[in-house]
Chains A and B, each alone.
Chain A
Amino acid sequence: EDQVTQSPEALRLQEGESSSLNCSYTVSGLRGLFWYRQDPGKGPEFLFTLYSAGEEKEKERLKATLTKKESFLHITAPKPEDSATYLCAVQGGSEKLVFGKGMKLTVNP
């Protein structure tokens, strides 16, 4: 069964304090690993898809990387508007998209 574990569950940073979020996964036949951002009261917003180990993608202050067992979302010099819940998900051979429980990021000014 496909599984995703995110750590830490919550993270508080000061503005400008860089950090990384971890997503560990087990999946049968990885088709893609996905990162989403979710703001309170809204649906998840797509950030990145990674398809194979060694792949990296960037968007503004966010950079996602992928190995055969985990993915990292690196946040460089975060701003208060980066505060949100970040979700990791995997899609395997079953075509189902399975999510982790998410990681709540708070960036204080």
Chain B
Amino acid sequence: NAGVTQTPKFQVLKTGQSMTLQCAQDMNHEYMSWYRQDPGMGLRLIHYSVGAGITDQGEVPNGYNVSRSTTEDFPLRLLSAAPSQTSVYFCASAKAQGGYTFGSGTRLTVV
């Protein structure tokens, strides 16, 4: 049972490049979310999903896209990377009203 798996663990992008952060869970959780964590800002919600085919915006969605074609996967796409997107990104999953399980994070630097 791997839990929540995020890839890659580290990434450096140039401004304007696009990329996808992968997130997969093997716990059959309905809910999945993406957060970014910046010093002094705490965890801020980017996008979330309550089931396959259903996504919604969080607090800081601009510059990011998501889709949820399967229960297991919830990729986060950066459309055109900007230095302001330098952050640590966490994916998390949960059963309805259950505690979220977090991945180990992706540390992204945009230069």
Contact = CB atoms under 8 A, between A and B. Distances in A.
B48 A95 contact: yes
A51 B96 CA distance: 13
B42 A100 contact: yes
Nearest to B42: A101
Contacts of B105: 42-43
B97 A99 contact: no
B7 interface: no
A43 B103 contact: yes
A73 B59 CA distance: 26
- Please list the 3 inter-chain residue pairs (A to B) with the smallest Cβ-Cβ separation, ordered nearest first: A43-B102, A101-B42, A46-B99
Interface of A: 31-32, 34, 36, 42-46, 48-49, 51, 87, 89, 91, 95-102
Interface of B: 4, 31, 33, 35, 40-45, 48, 50, 56, 58-59, 90, 92, 94, 97-105
